[in-house]
A and B are shown apart, each in its own frame.
Chain A
Amino acid sequence: MPNETTSPPQSVNVQIDGVWHQFPKGTRVIEACEQAGKYVPRYCYHKKLSSPGNCRMCLIEMGMPKMGPDRKPELGGDGKPTINWMPRPQICCAQDVSEGMGVRTTSPLVEECRRGVMEFLLINHPLDCPICDQAGECRLQEFSVEYGNQGSRFLENKVKKPKNVELGPRVTLDDERCILCSRCIRFCQEIAHDDVLGFIDRGSHTVLTAHPGKRLENNYSLNTVDICPVGALTSTDFRFKMRVWFLKETKSFCTSCATGCNTLIGSREDVIHRQTPRENNDVNSSWMCDYGRLKFKYVDSDRRLLEPRVLQNDKLTATDWKRAIANVALQLKHFGGWNIAIIASGRMTNEEMWLTSRIAKSLGTQWIDIVPHRGPGDDILLSEDRNPNTNGAKLLGLTSEPGAMIPKMVEAIKSGSLRALVVLCENPLELGLTADELRNLPAFITMSISQNESTDLSTAVLPSSAFAEKRGSMINGDGRLQRLNRAVRPPGNARDDWEILRDLLQALTDSNGVYTIDDVFRQMSEAIPQLAGLSLTKVGDLGLQLVNIDESPAPPRAPKEDDIELAEAKRPPGR
């Protein structure tokens, strides 16, 4: 969702708690206060949604400049306008700043308003923080500390409402905790365009619900959990799993499609517990889809590969990394370039792709491509391109048209002219190759994070790392360079992909000199004009927009028949 660009804004002068500030015209008062370091508590207001002004937590004192008889503001001793304070408190979430406006965010009246609203919100709220998933990131808790009363004056029975309501397959609702701020309803209407939530009944008995015949099951439903300021909406997947204060939050982005929504990965002791969207107005605003959000379970799968294996006596046998890399290099050195194909992945980082393309060069093969992954997209965030780094693959010369070369490769493998296959983070069985054809390959090397039917058929298996286990960069569908950060460590002896590829490259070329991933990036930035002058550090948390990413280097050219025949076959050590 790109930012709307507006004409250069004019500034207006606003007095906040006695200090004059300048803000661009069109700034919400509540945002202006925040920018001035005066955070105003709020429940219903969300800057990405419309303002209903219903929670009344952001009441402040507001004033307008006093007008003289000449219809011009009267100036005080300091040369600034004298402010006519309104007798009643005003909400600051629905109004824009205007010239000469005055705001008081800490006056006794304002404090009294906040205490009053807090008391009202809490009288019917269950006292179940100890078992509530929101505890630790709950606005009610946070503002209670600042504006709550110490005890309760409420002697009556609380209003009873439905508990443990399945609003949809992924969202669970506790209506007694709901403070009726309507954020989730507005999100469904305004962002997800799926108007399924609403309030029924009236007054204090108002209940949030979905129509019994239509559930909250759109692909953005979990965003309602993120924006719920209290524990009313909880993620069915995450609830009761982990207290949020134990979670380490790592800034990353989602690798489930080409959008690359910015995320926070919540993990504890090398286990990922949840993924939540992180605001980036150039990419995903404040949202992400459920599909991408929940696609981290495979990281903790039982099928993860834990140690490198090579084929010994027709059996894949565990070994150490040094021997595994040497074995793979030996296998590949037996073949001429035209006998070797590399099936890479659009899910690899730029650094991994860069090393892959250098390996391809050193092997002398131009049989290289990535596997396209596509699926239905939408007009909100989800891209049809389910590869997070197609643009990186193009820029780094792995492919010009993802998947264009794959059918030819498959044909060449079937016909026996291709004799060595390197598969990086993909499953060749999904490309039309049969198990027998793979079994017959003299050299079939896979780098993968988890075990599958094709890894079992390999002559060497190199266990690598998932997106949350490594550092690296990718280029999203809009040409934005973004950075992955390591949230958890890879299991067992699995290694960072780039290290595996670097070691293999060094084994193939007897070169040296790449010690860190930053070195890899530096090599790339020296070779690729679009990345010139950049480093992983400079990518930052919010990424960088690249220009001219379509001007990629000459793509690999499909080999001709003659070339293949010229190639000389030798007996590899694998099979």
Chain B
Amino acid sequence: MQAAIARYPKDRQRSAAMPLLHLWQEHFGFISDAGVNWIAAKLGLQPINILELVTFYPMYRQQPAGRKHIRVCRTLSCAMAGSYDLMQRAREIAAGDPNISVEFVECLASCGTAPVCMIDDELHENVDPHSIVDLVRNQQPIVRPRPEPHRLEHRLIFKNIGRRDWKIDIDTYVADGGYEQLKKALTMSRAEIINEVKTSGLRGRGGAGFPCGVKWSFIKPDEKKPVYLICNADESEPGTFKDRYIIHEDPHQMLEGMLISAYAVNAKTAYIYIRGEFPEGAQILENAIEEARAKNFLGQNILGKGFDCEIYIHRGAGAYICGEETGLIESLEGKRAYPRIKPPYFPAVLGLYMCPTIVNNVETLCHVKHIIAMGGAQYAQLGRPNNTGTRIVCVSGDVQRPGYFEIEVGKVTMGQLIYEMAGGTKPGRMLKAVIPGGSSAKVLRADERFKIKDRQPDGSTIEREMFIDELPMDFDSLAAAGSMAGSGGVIVLDDSRDMVWVLNNINEFYAHESCGQCTPCREGSLWMKKITDRMMLGGGVVEDPKTLKTIGDNIAGRTICAFGEACAWPTQSFVEKFPDEFAARAKKPIPPPLPPELTPEELIEDRQVPVRPLAHDPGWEKAGAAGTI
């Protein structure tokens, strides 16, 4: 416990609250009142400060779980692959065995191998209602060979993923030329590194696509406060499962990228905020850090170059909002992950512990290593102008070969990705829609026409009408198509899908994950979910599509963080692009306000309710007629 506390600055003991809660739960199975009080006293906090955390992060339990705890993923890609049936089976198993407990959880970030479940700390891929019985009994994970890289791929970050001759230890990594870029970077000046990254045109791979070099240059060169670097390994956008493989199969690449970046922004302390659902990944990274320390790649006076840097792991506990950088910072400070208002709390100025802080995605930090290796200019040759480099695209949903593909940004089209790389739609099925950048991205209809400005080599642009197949997989084209490249999670929907069901699944995710801090998202996300719930159960009324749309409009752009857009965009786009499907599920003519005797349940049950005008007050009418009001 002392070691967990020592990872944070002396006067910032509160940060150790989450690690201590993890330790307590690992030891006792759940967080009791005694645990809350003990941890509060240990850290000099009030019990309420700890209770706030225990109830915010779903992974902390206040009740004991079974000896075996099964977590089944509920979110879109897994649900499409049958996780509701899987959950049903798991419930049956648990019903007959008091030692087993089950939980339906949100995205476990392995959408390419859907449906997935975790049994205790171990992830199981492509589980079906039959195989889960064996899994619970034996718990031997089935190791499937990783596919060979597709010919359209350009593997940079994922070079070592799935390599048969690859091990995750540091010797393999060093023998493969690892940590050479760190050595090279330590001979460069900070400004030089930042310039290389700027030249490379690297854009953040977490979702927003902000230029990385520009972000770094917000840190003043003569900064007096300590600077922190945080690696955002809270991969949790449904449809995205790239960081999982980097962490589990190539941890030193990530550490090297982090160390170079820490050096560039002069951060002496760096944290890896890894999502709680990656316990194995956290352990792999802990080991990797120790290996790197033994070789003096981190710690004091790295490689004799006078640069000190420590990297610590901070585990999350199942809250999507921790992927938002200021929410992540609050969480790292040992608080509920409430995103901060910007202004004034821009992380580069007032970040972790109110010090300048850079938060980068796992993949982004890995790219830094390759930028140092290739040089920024060379790196910028990859991909397309303003959309440089490679990026990992994760395909899940209704395709034959879901999985990850590292492509040069914009050099592969949506059609190539879906039909060539991911094997196309399932036999006899047609493409209906694509969610191109994680579940929060606006959906694209398969039969839409997009007007995209195509940048020519001479710098001029030509506007061209495109089919969905022709869309280049890059930031600018997908933005121009009215959606976004986001986190690179492409969810493919075929013609068997009910769009109201899909939206309902997404809405449930966002309603569950809304942190509840600011009004529009807190109230709106649950409202949208309740409406689509009712529509799915047959209680849709004619106003529902319009109501859904306006709820989305009232959330997007009005919230503290981008979660507002994330939860509103699916609703706005689904309702707008599939009006017939929504209208078909919204047929009841009862307009709001609902007669007082009618509950949503009764709407669903189709009880005969007379449609009648609102009761009116004759006195009011009289007064109105006399012109006295």
Contact = CB atoms under 8 A, between A and B. Distances in A.
Interface of A: 51-57, 59, 88-89, 91, 94-95, 112-113, 116-117, 119-121, 123-124, 151-157, 159, 179-180, 195-206, 209-214
B52 A203 contact: no
B519 A56 contact: yes
Nearest to A59: B558
A52 B58 CA distance: 24
Contact of B513 (A53, A57, A119, A203): A203
Interface stretch (B65-73, B365-373, B497-505, B592-600): B592-600
A123 B528 CA distance: 12
Contact of B46 (A88, A159, A196): A196
A213 B47 contact: yes
Contacts of A212: 33
Interface string B514-544: 1111111011111100110010000001010
B192 to A, nearest CB: 28
B46 A195 contact: yes
Interface of B is mostly: helix
B558 A210 contact: no
Interface string B21-40: 00000000000010011000
Nearest to B56: A202
B287 interface: no
A198 B519 contact: no
Q: Which 10 A-B pairs have the closest CB atoms?
A: A116-B554, A120-B523, A200-B55, A206-B516, A53-B341, A156-B530, A204-B526, A211-B47, A198-B48, A211-B48
Nearest to A179: B519
A155 B600 contact: yes
Given A56-B519, A153-B592, A180-B516, A204 B525 contact: yes
B350 interface: no
Contact of B541 (A53, A155, A179): A155
Interface of B: 33, 36-37, 45-49, 51-52, 54-56, 58, 319, 336, 338, 341, 343-344, 511-520, 522-527, 530-531, 534, 541, 543, 547, 553-554, 557-560, 592-594, 599-600, 603
Nearest to A207: B55
A200 B523 contact: no
A153 B543 contact: yes
A56 to B, nearest CB: 5
Contacts of A123: 523, 527
A364 to B, nearest CB: 61
A156 B531 contact: yes
Contact of A214 (B46, B513, B603): B46
A203 B524 contact: no
A34 B584 CA distance: 49
Contacts of A154: 527, 592
Contacts of A59: 558
A56 B319 CA distance: 23
A220 to B, nearest CB: 16
A27 B301 CA distance: 47
A197 B534 CA distance: 35
Nearest to A118: B519
Given A120-B522, A213-B47, 15 more contacts: A52-B517, A56-B519, A56-B560, A94-B341, A117-B520, A117-B554, A121-B519, A155-B592, A156-B527, A157-B600, A195-B49, A199-B56, A200-B54, A200-B56, A204-B522
A157 B319 CA distance: 26
A117 B564 CA distance: 13
Contact of B560 (A53, A155, A206, A210): A53
Contact of A204 (B33, B338, B523, B560): B523
A204 B599 CA distance: 20
A202 B55 contact: yes
26 contacts: A51-B341, A53-B341, A54-B519, A56-B559, A89-B558, A116-B558, A120-B522, A120-B527, A151-B592, A152-B592, A153-B592, A155-B594, A155-B603, A157-B600, A180-B516, A180-B519, A199-B56, A199-B516, A201-B516, A202-B319, A203-B512, A203-B516, A203-B522, A204-B516, A204-B523, A213-B33
A180 B518 CA distance: 8
B602 to A, nearest CB: 11
A143 to B, nearest CB: 12
